[in-house]
C-alpha cells in the first residue's frame, strides 16, 4: 500500500488542528456546525437556476446555458458570489488576504501564471494520505463539510422548480432534501475562491457522478463569466478532503492550458467534440460543445467514472462558461510515493492539482517565485503527466466506457497534426526567470 506524508490545505476554519477543534461561536453544540444540533431553523440565501430539459428542446433550439460566453456580464450569480465572498472577507474569515499575494505572468508562449502565496503554507497539519485508492469510503470521523461553520456558507445552489431563475434571500435549509451549498475556501488561491458541495448531507465521497458534474457545469454557465472556472481533484490527484466538492475562482487571464493546441479525435452524436492536448506538459483530453449541458456532462462524467473505477487519479478543469472541460489523468503523487520525483521539485512543496496543471502555479517560497520561468513550470508539470504509452492505454479505457455515445472518430492527417503542434513549442531548457514579468493587477 502506497502512503505519502501529506500537508493538506486548510479549507475551513473548523478543520482539526494539532491541539484539537478550533473555537466556534456559541449555539447548539457550540460549534455552529451543520449537524442536527445547530442546523435547526438555520436559513441561507437560495439561488435556483433555470434547467432546460433536453427532451423539451426542438432540434434547432439550444440549451440557453450554451449561448456565447463573451465579456463578463453583470450576471446575478456573479454578483452574488462576489458580494457574499467579500462580506466574509470583511468579517475576517479568511486565513490571509489573497489580494495581497504577488502574481505575475511568466514570459513565454503559454503565459504561465505564478503566484507567491506563503499564507497557504502556514498552520497546516501533517497527515497520512493514501494515494493508491481513488475511491475511498466516506469517513464521518474525518473532517468533512458538515463540520464547517455556518458563517462560511454563502448560499444554496439548486435547480428551479418552475423552470425560471429564482432567488430567495432567506430560505430554510432543507436537510431532508440535502441541498447543494456554496462555501468559502478559507485558504483562497484567488479572488472569489469558493467550494461547490453537491448534496452536502448525503455525505458523498470525492467521486464524480453525472448529477454532480452537471451541477458544476450549471454553476459555470449561470455565472456567465469566462474568468470564472471550476476545478475538481480526485483522491490521489491532490484532493485533501474525501467529501464531494468542486473548487472555483476568478482569474482575469487565460489559463495556459486553454491556449494549448489540440487534435480532434472524435465527436459524439450529440455534438460533443473530443480532442487531445498537444504540446502541453500534461497529456489530457478536451471535451466541448454539445446540444445541451446535459450532453456534455454525461460524456465527461462517464469518462471520469471510468478513471475512478480503474483507480486512475485525475483532475478536471471546467472553462468557457461550462462549455469546455479538460480531463487530465495524472501520476505525480504515485511518483512521490515511489521516490521517483527529483528532490529539487519536492523542495518547492508544490502539489500539482487542477490549478497548477492548468498553468496557475501557486508557489510557497519566494525563491521559486523570483526564479519562475516557463521552463521551470514545464519541468514540474511534465512529472505530473502519464507517459505516452500509458496515456494511450487510459484513452482506450475511456473510449470503451463512452462508446454508447455513438462516437464518430476523426483521424486527422499528419499535416493537420503538424500544423497544430507548430502553434506552440515546449521550452528548450530549465533556466531561472530573468525577463521582466507582467504583473497582474
- Give the catalytic positions in this structure: 245
DSSP 8-state class, residue 20: B
Distance CA 343, CA 365 (A): 15
Sign of CA dihedral 329, 113, 190, 186: positive
Read off φ and ψ for residue 193, nearest 5 degrees: -70, 115
Q: Which residues on neighbouring strands pair with residue 183, listed in sequence order? A: 153, 195
Sign of CA dihedral 25, 31, 33, 36: negative
CA distances 326 to 257, 277, 329, 352, 407, Å, are: 9, 9, 10, 15, 18
Sign of CA dihedral 129, 131, 134, 135: negative
* Long-range contacts at 135-138 (CB < 8 A, ≥ 24 apart): 135/205, 135/207, 135/235, 135/308, 135/309, 135/311, 136/205, 136/206, 136/235, 136/242, 137/205, 138/203, 138/204, 138/205, 138/242, 138/243
Q: Enumerate the H helices of 153-276 as residue ranges.
A: 210-223, 256-259
Q: Are 293 and 256 in contact (CB under 8 A)?
A: no
CA gyration radius, the chain: 21
Helix (H, G, I), strand (E, B) or coil at 362: strand
Q: Which of 385, 80, 54 minimizes the C-alpha distance to 228? A: 80
Residue in the block written with cell 449561448: 67
CA distances 343 to 17, 118, 147, 346, Å, are: 28, 20, 36, 5
Distance CA 281, CA 241 (A): 27
Amino acid at each position: 500500500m502506497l502512503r505519502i506524508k501529506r500537508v493538506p490545505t486548510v479549507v475551513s476554519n473548523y478543520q482539526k488542528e494539532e491541539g484539537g477543534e478550533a473555537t466556534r461561536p456559541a449555539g447548539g453544540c457550540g460549534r455552529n456546525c451543520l449537524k442536527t444540533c445547530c442546523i435547526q431553523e438555520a436559513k441561507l440565501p437560495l439561488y435556483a437556476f433555470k434547467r432546460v430539459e433536453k427532451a423539451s428542446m426542438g432540434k434547432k433550439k439550444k440549451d440557453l446555458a450554451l449561448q456565447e460566453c463573451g465579456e463578463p456580464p453583470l450576471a446575478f450569480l456573479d454578483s452574488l458570489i462576489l458580494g457574499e465572498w467579500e462580506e466574509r472577507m470583511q468579517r475576517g474569515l479568511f486565513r490571509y488576504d489573497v489580494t495581497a499575494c504577488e502574481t505575475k505572468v511568466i514570459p513565454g508562449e503559454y503565459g504561465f501564471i505564478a503566484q507567491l502565496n506563503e499564507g497557504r503554507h502556514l498552520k497546516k497539519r501533517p497527515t497520512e494520505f493514501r494515494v493508491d485508492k481513488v475511491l475511498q469510503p466516506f469517513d464521518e470521523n474525518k473532517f468533512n463539510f458538515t463540520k464547517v461553520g455556518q458563517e462560511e456558507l454563502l448560499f444554496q445552489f439548486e435547480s428551479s422548480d418552475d423552470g425560471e431563475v429564482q432567488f430567495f434571500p432567506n430560505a430554510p435549509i432543507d436537510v431532508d432534501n440535502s441541498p447543494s451549498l456554496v462555501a468559502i475556501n478559507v485558504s483562497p488561491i484567488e479572488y472569489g475562491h469558493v467550494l461547490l458541495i453537491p448534496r452536502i448531507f448525503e455525505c458523498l465521497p470525492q467521486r464524480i457522478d453525472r448529477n454532480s458534474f452537471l451541477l458544476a457545469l450549471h454553476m459555470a454557465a449561470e455565472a456567465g463569466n469566462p474568468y470564472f472556472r471550476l476545478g475538481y481533484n480526485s483522491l490521489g490527484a491532490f484532493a485533501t478532503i474525501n467529501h464531494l466538492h468542486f473548487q472555483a475562482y476568478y482569474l482575469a487571464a487565460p489559463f495556459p492550458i486553454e491556449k494549448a493546441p489540440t487534435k480532434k479525435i472524435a465527436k459524439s452524436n450529440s455534438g460533443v467534440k473530443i480532442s487531445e492536448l498537444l504540446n502541453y506538459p500534461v497529456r489530457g483530453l478536451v471535451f466541448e460543445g454539445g446540444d445541451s449541458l446535459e450532453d456534455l456532462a454525461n460524456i465527461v462524467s462517464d469518462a471520469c467514472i471510468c478513471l475512478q473505477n480503474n483507480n486512475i487519479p485525475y483532475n478536471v478543469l471546467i472553462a468557457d462558461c461550462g462549455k469546455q472541460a479538460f480531463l487530465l489523468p495524472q501520476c505525480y503523487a504515485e511518483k512521490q510515493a515511489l521516490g521517483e520525483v527529483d528532490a529539487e521539485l519536492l523542495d518547492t512543496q508544490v502539489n500539482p492539482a487542477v490549478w497548477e496543471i492548468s498553468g496557475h502555479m501557486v508557489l510557497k517560497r519566494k525563491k521559486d517565485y523570483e526564479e519562475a520561468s516557463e521552463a521551470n513550470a514545464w519541468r514540474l508539470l511534465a512529472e505530473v503527466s502519464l507517459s505516452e504509452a500509458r496515456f494511450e492505454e487510459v484513452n482506450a479505457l475511456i473510449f470503451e466506457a463512452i462508446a454508447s455515445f455513438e462516437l464518430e472518430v476523426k483521424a486527422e492527417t499528419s499535416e493537420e497534426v503538424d500544423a497544430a503542434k507548430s502553434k506552440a513549442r515546449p521550452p528548450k531548457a530549465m533556466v531561472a526567470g530573468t525577463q521582466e514579468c507582467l504583473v497582474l493587477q
